[in-house]
Structure 1
Amino acid sequence: MLSHSATNMAEDNKVPTEENATMLQAFEWYIPDDHTHWKRLARDAGKYREIGITAMWIPPPTKASAPSGNGYDIYDLWDLGEFDQKGSIATKWGHKDDLVALANVAERAGVLLYADAVLNHKAAADETERCRVAEVDPEDRTRFISDPYEIEGWLGFTFPGRGDKYSSMKWHWEHFSGTDYNSENEKTAIYKILGDFKSWAQSVDNEKGNFDYLMFADIDHSHPDVKKDINDWGIWIAKLLSLRGFRFDAVKHFSEEYLAEFISVLKANVHEDFFFVGEFWKDSLSDMLAYLDRLDGHKFSLFDAPLVYNFSQASKTESYDLRQVFDGTLVQARPIAAVTLVMNHDTQPHQALEAPIEGFFKPLAYALILLRRDGYPCVFWGDLEGISGEFKEEPSCGGQLADIILARKLYAYGTQDDYFDYATCVGWVRRGTWDRPNGCAVVMSNAGEGEKRMFVGEEHEGEIWTDVLGWQRGEVHIGADGFADFKCPATSMAIWVNQVPGRDQFGTFKAGKGFGKE
C-alpha cells in the first residue's frame, strides 16, 4: 500500500486533463456586408471562450471581387482590407486594422485563430490578356472539344490599388491553367490554357475526369512564381495574425503536391503544431481516406461530410436507427483526422451543398459531436447566433446550443460507455478523469420519450443529477451500484450532471450579445 506521501506524489505525477477543444466557424453566408464583422468577433471572443470555444475559423480575410463578396471570389491575397480595390477599402468583414485588433483580442482571450485560405483560383482580373486555349468537355475535362485558338481572357492581375506593397508579383496568363470566359466573343466555357509545361494538375480529384478546374481563373500551382508568392503570403499572414491554423477551401481542386509543400513551409517557418483542415466535400469515405493517406505525415484533417449527410437523413427519416448514425463517417474510421460538424456556410439553407437538418434533430446532432470522445467538433455560427438576411433563422437548439458547448467544456471527459442498444433511443456516459471527475450521462430519442439505465460509477452513490438543459424535469438519484434511470423528452435529449460548480452558467448565453447575465 502506498504511504500518504507516496500517494501525494502519485497524484502530483498525473498529467492534467486538457480542456476539450471546440472550434467555432465564426461566420455564416448571409452576415450583412457592413464591414464590421471583425469588430463583432473581437467584442465576443472572450465570451465565446467562457462557454468553451477554443478556436475560431474566420472567413477569408483577403480582398474579394466586390465589397459584398465573402472572399471565396478572391481577388488579392495580400489585401486584408487595406487598399482601395474592387470598390472599397474594407473587405465584407472589415478593415485590416480591425482584423489585427481581433487577432490581438483572441490571443489574450486564449482563442486560437484559423484563417480560411482560398488558394484554388482568382477572380475579377484588372486586365484581359490574349492566350492560347482549347475548350474541354465540362463533364470530362480530359477531353478536348475544340481545336486550339486564342481568346481574350481576364487573366491580368496588376493590383493598381496596392502596387508593390508586400508583394511585387503581377499575375498573367502563364500563372493559370484554365479560365471560363472569352471577352472577345462573350462566350462562357471551360478553357484549358495551352503552353509549355501547361497541364491540369494531376494530384486532384478524378471527378469529371480531372477536377482541377472549379471556377474563375484557375491557379497553376506548378509555376515557381506562383508557389513562391503563395508561400510568402502564408508566412506573412500567419505571423501578422498569430494564426495557429488554416482551413483550405476546395482542396479537391488543386494540387495535393503543392498543398503538402505549403504545409511544410508553414511548419518550418511559423509553427510546428499548425492545424490544417481541408474542405474535401464528398460523400465518399474511401475517397477521403485515400486523400488523407496521400498527405500522410502532414497531420492533415478533413471535415466529415458523410456525417453531415447522415444527420440530414436521420432528421428526415421516421424511426431512423440512431445506432447507425456514425456508419460510413470519417470520425468512425479515422477520428484523429475528423473535424465533425452539423452545418456550415455551404450546407446552410439555400446554398449549393444544402443539407437540411430538421430543427428537432439539431440538438441531438450537436450532442453527438460535442459530448462524445472522438473528432474535433466545429460549431456553426448560424446555429449559435442565427442566420441573417432574406433567409433569416433563429439560433438552433431552442437558443441553448451554448449550453451544449458548455457541457462539453465542463463534463465531457474520460472513459465513454455507450448504450447504443435500441434503434430510436441511445445514450452514453462520460466517466470523468482524476482532475475532472464529474462526468455526464446523455440520453436522446428521435421517437417517443426515452429512458436508459446507465452506469455512472459507484463513487457517485447518493448524488442527485439533473438535466443541465432543463428539458427533462425531475431528479435522478444515483444508486449504490452506480446505476440510475436517465430519461429524455420525445424527439429530444437530456444531459444529466451532478449538482456541481458551474451549473449556474447554463442558460445565460444571449445570441447576438455573447455570454453573460444582463
Structure 2
Amino acid sequence: MKGCCCAALFNSINMRKNKFLFLFPFIFCFLLVISSCSKEEDEAANTTEEITGEEGQEETPEEPVALDLSQYSTGQKVMMQTFYWDVEPRFEWWNNLSDKVEGWAEAGIDRLWLPVATKGQSGGYSMGYDPSDYFDFGQYDQHGTIPTRFGTKEELEDLITKSHDLGLEVIADIVLNHNSGGGLEYNPYREKETYTNFDEQHGNASGMFNRSYEHFHPNDVSQSDRGDLFFSEQDVDHDVPYVQDWLWKKDNSVAKYYKNEMGFDGWRFDYVKGFAPWVIKAWMDEVGGFAVGENFDGNADVLVDWVDATGVSAFDFAAFYKMEEAFDRFDDLNYLDGSMLRKVYPNKAVTFVANHDTEKDENEDNRIANENKMKAYAYILTHDGYPTIFYSDYENEAFNEEIKQLIEIHNSLAIGNVEVLHVDNDEYIMKRAGNAENPGLILYISTGSTTKRRNVQTNWNNVTLLDYSSNTTYTPTSDENGMVTIEAPANGYSIYSITK
C-alpha cells in the first residue's frame, strides 16, 4: 500500500515536469525577443549622442585664427646688449657680432649696445672699463697688443657699416668718470707719484687728448667730484676746460670723433654716479643722439631726479630689483606693481633682465635666477619702457625662440596705457589698452604650482582670445561686456589678445 502511494506521487510530479518542459521553448523565445528589443533601443540612443553636425544640433566651433602680427606695430623695438663679461674668443668679437646682426635685425632689434670700443690698461684682456686711450680702437701697439679684446679698428668699422645697412643704430659705451694705464709722475696735489701721465709713451699712443695730474682730481680748479669716487687717483675733472674741449667741444673731440668718424649713433654712459649730470647735458648738446645712463640705484626717485637733471634715459634699476624681489628674493608678485622709473618716465626708462654686471655678481639679490628669467622678459617686453635683451640670454638655446616670440609680441601689440587688473602673491595680470588701430594685450603671470584662471575686464566684446605666447591652448570668448576668463600655466605666463 505504501509503495503504491509513492508510485502515484512520483507519476503526478513527472507529469507536471513534462508540462513545464513543454512550455519552456515558448518562454525562452519570448525573453529573447524582449532582450533584443531593449539592446537595439540602447544602441540607437548611444549612436544619437555621438553624431554631431546634424540639423538642430550645435556645430563644433572653428579654431580661432591668430592675428598676423606683422600687420601691427607699436612704433618701438628693442635694444641688444651685444656682450657679456670677458667675452671669448678674444680679438674676434667684432667679427662674431657681424655674423649675428642680420638675424638680430630680422628678430626686431633696432639698436646695438657695443662694449667699450677703445683700449684699456689690460690690453687684450680689457673689457674697456679701464680706459687708457680714447682714440685707440685697435690700431696702436700698446698695453701688449694692437687689437683690443674685441678686434681691430677696421673690423669695428665694418660692423658699424653692416649694422647701418640693416637699419640698426650702434651705441657706444663711454667711460667718462676715470682713466687707467698712464705713466708715473709726481703729483704736487697729492704730494706723491701717481699714474696720471697719459702721453704717446704712456698709455696714449694716439697722441690725442694727452693728460697729466692737472686733469684729474684734485687740482687747482676743483678738489673732487660731486659724485662718488672711483679710481680716485685718475678721477677725471670735467671742470677743467682742456678736458671739456677734448671730451666733447673740439671738432676732433671724443664725442665728435666717435659720431662723425666712427659712425656711432648714441651713447651708453658708464658709472654716472661718479660725476655731475651737467656733463651729460654738455655732451648731448654737442652731439645729440640716443643716450642712456648707468645709474646703478634701485631707488626710483634717484633715477627720476637724474633723468630730470640730464634729459636722457636711464637703465631702470628700480624695475630690475622689483622683478628680482617678486620672482626670487620674496616670491611675491605684488612687487611687480612697485615704484619704478618706467611708471614716471616710460619713454626714458630702459628696462632689462640681466647685464654684464649682474651676470657675474655673486650676490643672489643682484641677479634674477635663470628659472625666472623668461617671466621677467615677458614682463619687460609687454610693459612700457624700452627693453634691452642681454646677449647671453638671447644666445642661450633654452631661451632663444621664446625671447624672439616675446620681441615680436612687444613690437606688434605692446602699446597703450598700462593697467594692472589684478595682483596678489602669486598672480599678476596687466592690460595694455592698445589704440584705434591696435588691440593691445593682456599679460597673466603666475608663480603658482597649478594652472590658474581668473575673470577679468577687457576692451574686447564678444571676441575669442588667443595666448600669443603659446604657453596655453585655452581660447576663451569674452561676453558682451568684455568680461572673460583667462588662463596662466603653472609657474609661467600667457599673453592674450584678440583673434581674427
Please indicate the TM-score interval, normalised by the length of the shorter structure.
Answer: 0.7 to 0.9
CA offsets per residue over residues 436-482 of structure 1, 9 Å max, x none?
A: x35333211122322233344446x45452x3333223433444544
2:446 corresponds in structure 1 to 445
Between 412-421 and 220-229, the greater mean CA deviation after superposition = 412-421
CA offsets per residue over residues 51-89 of structure 1, 9 Å max, x none?
A: 221111111111111201100011110011111121211
Spell out the pairing of 1:170-209 with structure 2 (5 A cutoff): 170-177=210-217, 193=218, 195-202=219-226, 204=227
Q: Indicate conservation of the 8 Å contact 1:438/1:497, yes or no.
A: yes
2:294 corresponds in structure 1 to 279
CA offsets per residue over residues 162-212 of structure 1, 9 Å max, x none?
A: 9775x54321111111xxxxxxxxxxxxxxx4x43341023x2xxxxxx23
> In the alignment, is residue 343 of structure 1 matched against residue 354 of structure 2?
yes
1:87 to 144, 150, 153: 144
- Report the CA distance shift for 1:153/1:337 in structure 2 as closer, same or farther (over 3 A): same
| Amino acid in structure 2 at the alignment position of 1:469 | S
2:322 to 307, 310, 316: 310
SS at match of 1:324: helix
- Report the CA distance shift for 1:241/1:169 in structure 2 as closer, same or farther (over 3 A): closer
TM-score normalised per structure 1 = 0.75
SS at match of 1:122: coil
- Report the CA distance shift for 1:215/1:438 in structure 2 as closer, same or farther (over 3 A): same
Following TM superposition, by how much is the alpha carbon of 1:240 offset from its aligned partner in structure 2, in angstroms?
2.6
| Amino acid in structure 1 at the alignment position of 2:448 | A
- Report the CA distance shift for 1:339/1:491 in structure 2 as closer, same or farther (over 3 A): same
1:60 to 116, 124, 138: 116
Distance in 2, Cα, partners of 1:280 & 1:462? 44
| Amino acid in structure 2 at the alignment position of 1:414 | G
Distance in 1, Cα, partners of 2:474 & 2:322? 32
Distance in 1, Cα, partners of 2:418 & 2:298? 27
Distance in 1, Cα, partners of 2:166 & 2:85? 26
Q: Indicate conservation of the 8 Å contact 2:296/2:317, yes or no.
A: yes
1:426 corresponds in structure 2 to 428
Distance in 2, Cα, partners of 1:17 & 1:350? 36
| Amino acid in structure 2 at the alignment position of 1:196 | D
1:107 to 164, 188, 203: 164
2:240 to 223, 234, 243: 223
1:187 corresponds in structure 2 to none
SS at match of 2:484: strand
Q: Among the aligned pairs, what percent are the same residue?
A: 24
Q: Indicate conservation of the 8 Å contact 1:453/1:483, yes or no.
A: yes
- Report the CA distance shift for 1:346/1:123 in structure 2 as closer, same or farther (over 3 A): same
Structure 2: which 5+ residue stretches go unaligned? Answer: 1-71
| Amino acid in structure 1 at the alignment position of 2:440 | G
CA offsets per residue over residues 107-162 of structure 1, 9 Å max, x none?
A: 1211111110011111111x21011244xxxxxxxxxxxxxxx3122211113499
> In the alignment, is residue 496 of structure 1 matched against residue 496 of structure 2?
yes
Distance in 2, Cα, partners of 1:359 & 1:353? 11
1:470 corresponds in structure 2 to 470
Q: Indicate conservation of the 8 Å contact 2:179/2:235, yes or no.
A: yes
2:7 corresponds in structure 1 to none
Spell out the pairing of 1:85-164 with structure 2 (5 A cutoff): 85-125=142-182, 127-134=183-190, 150-160=191-201
| Amino acid in structure 1 at the alignment position of 2:298 | D
- Report the CA distance shift for 1:399/1:47 in structure 2 as closer, same or farther (over 3 A): closer
Q: Indicate conservation of the 8 Å contact 2:73/2:411, yes or no.
A: no
| Amino acid in structure 1 at the alignment position of 2:245 | K
Q: Which structure is higher in helix share?
A: 2
Number of aligned residue pairs: give it. 423
SS at match of 2:224: coil
- Report the CA distance shift for 1:353/1:233 in structure 2 as closer, same or farther (over 3 A): farther
Distance in 2, Cα, partners of 1:280 & 1:317? 22
1:291 corresponds in structure 2 to 306
Distance in 2, Cα, partners of 1:343 & 1:107? 26
> In the alignment, is residue 402 of structure 1 matched against residue 404 of structure 2?
yes
Q: Indicate conservation of the 8 Å contact 1:25/1:58, yes or no.
A: yes
Distance in 2, Cα, partners of 1:201 & 1:242? 31
- Report the CA distance shift for 1:162/1:104 in structure 2 as closer, same or farther (over 3 A): farther
Q: Indicate conservation of the 8 Å contact 1:250/1:278, yes or no.
A: yes
Distance in 1, Cα, partners of 2:363 & 2:198? 28
What is the CA RMSD across the aligned residues, in angstroms? 2.7
> In the alignment, is residue 301 of structure 1 matched against residue 341 of structure 2?
no
- Report the CA distance shift for 1:439/1:331 in structure 2 as closer, same or farther (over 3 A): closer
Q: Indicate conservation of the 8 Å contact 2:416/2:433, yes or no.
A: yes
- Report the CA distance shift for 1:400/1:73 in structure 2 as closer, same or farther (over 3 A): same
Q: Indicate conservation of the 8 Å contact 2:163/2:169, yes or no.
A: yes
Greater CA radius of gyration, 1 or 2? 2
CA offsets per residue over residues 308-362 of structure 1, 9 Å max, x none?
A: 1222222224651x23324222122332322111111111133689713123321
1:359 corresponds in structure 2 to 370
Q: Indicate conservation of the 8 Å contact 1:33/1:68, yes or no.
A: no
TM-score normalised per structure 2 = 0.77
Following TM superposition, by how much is the alpha carbon of 1:418 offset from its aligned partner in structure 2, in angstroms?
3.0
Spell out the pairing of 1:16-27 with structure 2 (5 A cutoff): 19-27=75-83
- Report the CA distance shift for 1:176/1:421 in structure 2 as closer, same or farther (over 3 A): closer
- Report the CA distance shift for 1:490/1:458 in structure 2 as closer, same or farther (over 3 A): closer
Q: Indicate conservation of the 8 Å contact 1:443/1:451, yes or no.
A: no
- Report the CA distance shift for 1:367/1:155 in structure 2 as closer, same or farther (over 3 A): same
2:266 corresponds in structure 1 to 245
1:234 corresponds in structure 2 to 255
Q: Indicate conservation of the 8 Å contact 2:181/2:203, yes or no.
A: no
Q: Indicate conservation of the 8 Å contact 2:133/2:203, yes or no.
A: no
SS at match of 2:321: helix
Q: Indicate conservation of the 8 Å contact 1:83/1:161, yes or no.
A: no
Q: Indicate conservation of the 8 Å contact 1:128/1:156, yes or no.
A: yes
Q: Indicate conservation of the 8 Å contact 1:417/1:429, yes or no.
A: yes
2:392 corresponds in structure 1 to 382
Between 470-479 and 326-335, the greater mean CA deviation after superposition = 470-479
Distance in 2, Cα, partners of 1:228 & 1:83? 23
- Report the CA distance shift for 1:171/1:405 in structure 2 as closer, same or farther (over 3 A): same
